[in-house]
Amino acid sequence: MTIPPGANGGAGKAPESIEDRAAYYVVRLDAGADKSEQQRIWDWIEQSPEHAVAFARAKAVWDRAGDLESGGRDEDSTKA
């Protein structure tokens, strides 16, 4: 029903901390996780308030970063 802590949830290698895992799951959802992976991520979120808080924080930071303007890339570009 739920993913045991530290287990590989089928979403690649398990990151070490709750924050890292939450960040990874936000990225997996962005990358197009399939239904069963989405379900595993939700199970993880519901497993504990710590998970839910970390996920919410990761998603909030992800959304905020989406407002960054283009032009900040580290590659040289002459594009106006």
Binding site for other proteins (CB under 8 A): 12, 15, 17, 19-20, 22-24, 26-28, 30-31, 42, 45-46, 49-50, 52-62, 64-75, 77, 80
Calculated CA dihedral for residues 36, 38, 44, 50, nearest 10 degrees: 180
Task: State which residue, 7 or 12, has the beta carbon closest to other proteins.
Answer: 12
**Could you give the 3-state DSSP secondary structure of residue 30?**
helix
Residue 69 C-beta: closest distance to other proteins, Å: 7
Residue 17 C-beta: closest distance to other proteins, Å: 8
Among the listed residues 78, 9, 16, 65, the one whose alpha carbon sits nearest the alpha carbon of residue 37: 9
